[in-house]
Amino acid sequence: MKTIYRITLAVILATTFAIGASAQFRAGIRLGLNVNKLSISSDMASSDNRAGFNGGVTAEFMFPGTGFGVDGSIMYVHRTDNYVNYDDGTSKRVNKNCDYIEVPLNVKWKLSLPAVSNFIAPYVFTGPSFSFLTSKRAVSNAAKRSTYDVAWNFGFGLQLIKKLQLSASYGLGFTKAYKLLDSDAHAANIEGKNRYWTVTAAWLF
């Protein structure tokens, strides 16, 4: 966790430096879809992919002439809890909606080519994401969500006509997003971490 906080601090410092260096700043709106799956720590439970959606505001700082920059967003994210808990040869499926306020912070690099970049410019990005639960913690009598979740995103995208950004990313959850307690009182807690794909479209002004 200390490493995550240090990298996050570095991203914030880079943003501050970008402002001082008269970086190119733009802001806009972002909308998209996400597919979430729990990575569960025990074979006594399993999870399937479930689709959700997200939307919010975004901002970008780019260092002139380098292709490097940072971006950040404040997003409302809707996901679905989905897991199957196995008990004595039987199974119980749980599907519950959950909502987060997510704050992803990324370092970004765009490939700029003369003339061509005015119409299309590919880019890659990576960075931490912090999610704060806004829905209820309780999923069932045997499961609870954590109030926050920390993940690391890896993604790529295309910028079109210098305004529209289409991107796809994979989020690797670090923290225990869910705690599932097996019906057997002697069983250990079963933990789940979020793994998710996100596809978004952003319009920057």
Winning range, highest mean pLDDT, from 19-23, 106-110, 176-180? 106-110
pLDDT tens by residue, 3-58: 665 666 666 666 555 454 456 899 999 999 999 988 776 665 667 778 999 999 99
Closest by CA to 60, choosing from 20, 29, 33, 32, is 29
**Range 141-161 average pLDDT:** 91
Is pLDDT above 70 for 118?
yes
Amino acid at 70: V
Q: Which residue has the higher pLDDT, 129 or 116?
A: 129
pLDDT tens by residue, 181-194: 655 544 456 778 89
Give the pTM: 0.81
How many other C-beta atoms lie within 10 A of the C-beta of residue 64? 11
Report which DSSP code applies to 170.
Answer: E
Is pLDDT above 90 for 124?
yes
CA-to-CA distance for 190 and 84, rounded, in angstroms? 12
- Identify the three-state secondary structure at position 23: coil
Secondary structure of 109-161 in HEC code, one letter for each residue: EECCCCCHHHCEEEEEEEEEEEEEECCCCEEECCEEECCEEEEEEEEEEEEEC
User: What pLDDT sits at residue 2?
Assistant: 61
